Structure 1
Amino acid sequence: MFISEAYAQAAGGSAGGLESLQQFLPLVLIFVVFYFLLLRPQQKKMKAHREMVSQLRRGDRVLTQGGIIGQINKVISETEVSVEIADGVRVRVIRSAISEVLAKTEPVSGASKDAASKDEAKEEGEAAAEGVEAAPPAAKKTNLLGKLLGKN
């Protein structure tokens, strides 16, 4: 009697492999949904934060995790920066404690800076030859606009 029951359970066990896979499948699906809804976005945020922290420069206005707003005065090392939070008040902050860059300073390329200074020197030279002081660029644009509109 016991032997026949053992054979019956063994014969039913071969179909049980598929059944156990069906029971395991919802758990796998829950893990996949969990990964795409929670883990992956968090990893993207961490990667963006690491990139933002690595690109910090002198002159950037930043917000720390503690809520302090200041301007980066000096990059001390790969892990620390000096942030000026008021006139003459400087605080050393760990880079990872910076939560947001409020205003980013743009690098000035050497070629455009040299070209701009050459143009200004040329205009000043022409104005000096005429005996007139060089006008600021904004005034020249207004004067040009006046000429175009017939209002000199």
Structure 2
Amino acid sequence: MANVWIIAQAGNDQAPTRITSEPVTGGEESTVVVPDPNGGPPATGADRPAASWMQFMPLVLIFVVMYLFLMRGPRKQQQKHKQMVQSLNKNDRVRTIGGIFGTVVEVRGDEVVLKIDESNNTKIRVSTSAIGKNLSQEGKD
């Protein structure tokens, strides 16, 4: 601490003759002394009580709520979608996230073949992440 600036108010018996804005010089570190308003001995920074764990309770609660809303919710939705995709079978009616309705013809790893038009026998391949809802399972639930 090369430059320490001290601004303090002293009692009448300790009043300085003049106040300067020069830095305090000296090799040793200084301790801030705060006078007690009740007239007791002055308290230094080391005499202050340690921070209680109750002061950190609101911060801990904020982190818990953030975890519940930001981490746990989306993770549950991902697990639910994964279970729905794994339970896809042939002839299930599905709706993609793009709004295309079709019937599952085949499930291959991470892609699904959908028949979207019965008259022309039109088929498309989509990713499993593009399946939004299994309409066949909706009636069973």
User: With structure 2 as the length reference, what TM-score do the two structures score?
Assistant: 0.61
- For residue 40 of structure 1, the aligned residue among 55, 72, 84 is 72
Distance (Å, rounded) in 1 between the aligned partners of 2:32 and 2:88? 76
Structure with greater helix percent: 1
Give the 5 Å matches for 1:1-150. Answer: 3=31, 5=33, 8-12=44-48, 15-18=49-52, 21-75=53-107, 77-87=108-118, 88-104=121-137
- Residues 69 and 3 (structure 1 numbering): CA distance in 2 closer, same or farther, change over 3 Å? closer
Distance (Å, rounded) in 2 between the aligned partners of 1:30 and 1:58? 46
- Per the TM alignment, residue 27 of structure 1 is displaced from its structure 2 partner at its CA by 1.3
- Aligned partner letter, 2:94: V
**Contact 2:31–2:45 under 8 Å retained in 1:** no
Aligned-pair Cα RMSD in Å: 2.3
- Residues 11 and 89 (structure 1 numbering): CA distance in 2 closer, same or farther, change over 3 Å? same
Distance (Å, rounded) in 2 between the aligned partners of 1:3 and 1:103? 75
User: With structure 1 as the length reference, what TM-score do the two structures score?
Assistant: 0.57
Distance (Å, rounded) in 2 between the aligned partners of 1:36 and 1:27? 14
Distance (Å, rounded) in 2 between the aligned partners of 1:90 and 1:23? 62
After TM superposition, what 4+ stretches of structure 1 lie above 6 angstroms from structure 2?
A: none
- Residues 4 and 51 (structure 1 numbering): CA distance in 2 closer, same or farther, change over 3 Å? closer
C-alpha deviations, 1:11-52, integer Å up to 9, x for none?
11xx1332xx44432111011122234432322211111011
Local SS of the residue matching 1:66: coil
- Residues 4 and 30 (structure 1 numbering): CA distance in 2 closer, same or farther, change over 3 Å? closer
